[in-house]
Amino acid sequence: MQIFRELYEFNEELLLNLKFTREPLDKVASKYKFVHAALKGQKLLDGEAGEVISDYFNSLGTTDAISQIDYLNERKAVLLKMRDESGEEYKKYSSLYVKIFFMLGVLMAVLLA
């Protein structure tokens, strides 16, 4: 969830950067932990999500600014979808773990009583 949230924020900032300030990519990425790691070549995730992330970073800086803005606008929808899906999955599993540990606590209390 954190990775896709950070990627979405980075994508938004990169769009603004390409339109107005045109700072170096490293300077824009320096605020983001996962983005900075991905730019260094580290693999963040496995599977389909990992492929989306690696394709995203492989295409950064390969074309002119106008084409890059178009590409980032396309990726914006994909990143938003993946951010929302990972957020829902996080909520589902985090509440499940809380319930499991609560039930284990109740079971231990009953066994000790």
Give the count of domains, the chain. 1
| pLDDT for residue 14 | 92
| pLDDT for residue 12 | 94
| pLDDT for residue 1 | 77
Domain membership flag for residue 54: yes
Domain membership flag for residue 94: no
| pLDDT for residue 63 | 87
Tokens in use for 26?
Answer: 């490293």
Residues 65 and 75 sit within 8 Å (Cβ to Cβ): no
Domain membership flag for residue 42: yes
Cα separation, 85 vs 79, in Å, equals 10
Domain membership flag for residue 38: yes
Domain membership flag for residue 34: yes
Running along the chain, 113 residues long, what does each successive block of 10 average in pLDDT? Answer: 90 92 89 89 87 89 88 91 86 80 89 84
Domain membership flag for residue 109: no
| pLDDT for residue 6 | 92
Domain membership flag for residue 99: no
Residues 72 and 9 sit within 8 Å (Cβ to Cβ): no
| pLDDT for residue 90 | 78
- Domain membership of residue 12 as a residue range: 2-83
Domain membership flag for residue 47: yes
| pLDDT for residue 52 | 87
